[in-house]
Amino acid sequence: MTKTADIRRLKEALWGDVRHVLLDMDGTLLDRYFDDYFWEHLVPEKYAEKHDITFGRAKEELLKKYKVHEGTLNWTDIDFWSRELDLDIPALKEQIRHLIEVHPHVEDFLCALKDADKKVVLVTNAHYKTLKIKMRKTQIGRYFDRVITSSEIGCPKEETAFWQRVERILRFDKERTVFIDDVKENLEAAGEFGIRYLVLKTMASSKETEPAGNGGGFLAVSDFKQLLPRHR
């Protein structure tokens, strides 16, 4: 089966039978460049100043710390990082909020979903403080029927338990649900739980070049334009 045929089938379902559309925020709807710049550049810079070490050394130390908490709720908890690194993480995020950008055609896609009367839910590992900064800057909050964060659920999207709990809240039909995310582990967990339509969003950061290879078994989409109904 060719990719074009797969996308066509997905679109038929999406604009037809599908009831719930679950969307990740960072890297999927919003440019992950903000987050990459934040953790890989701004935080190391401030950490280096604080400890009077070089930027390179700071980055090395931080990458080790990041690694320990990857895929856990700590990773997404910016209050945890404020304590761990003795830096005011929310204030630093505010400092570069001009870098928060919505990916191309996301608003067209969200508008089309609302027009088609779909239940649109933002499903994110982001901390509520980060979420607030991003919603204020982008104004996309109005498109969602509900926002679900992993801290509210008690575990991150990488875990199947997350999806069991989300299902209890939303009462979605797995067979009529689409989930789009830029992280394969999240799609795998949702797939294990049984969500039928899973889409990998590539080009998570605007600084990335077109990804090589395939979507690792998932249907991959690089621009929401590819999912818009024909009349848009």
The residue ranges that bind Mg ion (CB under 5 A) are 24, 26-27, 182
Nearer to Mg ion, 47 or 156 (CB): 156
Euclidean distance between CA atoms 118 and 95, whole angstroms: 35
Q: CB neighbours (10 Å) of residue 231?
A: 5
User: Nearest distance from residue 1's CB to Mg ion, in Å?
Assistant: 27
| Closest residue to Mg ion: CB criterion | 27
Min CB(27)–Mg ion separation in Å = 4
Name the active-site residue from 6, 17, 24, 108. Answer: 17
Is the Cα torsion angle 37, 41, 45, 51 positive or negative in sign? Answer: positive
Q: Taking a C-beta distance cutoff of 8 angstroms, is the pair 121, 22 a contact?
A: yes
Alpha-carbon span 54 to 59, nearest angstrom: 9
CA distance 184 to 178: 15
Give the burial class of 219: count Cβ atoms within 10 A of its Cβ; 0-12 exposed, 13-18 middle, 19 or more buried: middle
Nearer to Mg ion, 27 or 215 (CB): 27
Specify whether 79 is catalytic: no
Q: How far is the CB of 104 from Mg ion (least distance, A)?
A: 16
Interhelix angle 160-170/184-193, nearest 10 degrees: 60
CB-wise, 26 or 31, nearer to Mg ion? 26
Least distance CB 199 / Mg ion (angstroms): 13
**β partners of residue 107:** none
- Between residues 27 and 191, which has the closer beta carbon with respect to Mg ion? 27
Count of Cβ atoms closer than 10 Å to residue 50 Cβ: 12
Nearer to Mg ion, 46 or 77 (CB): 77
The CB-of-130 to Mg ion minimum distance in angstroms stands at 12
Tokens standing for 124? 């994110």
Active site residues: 17
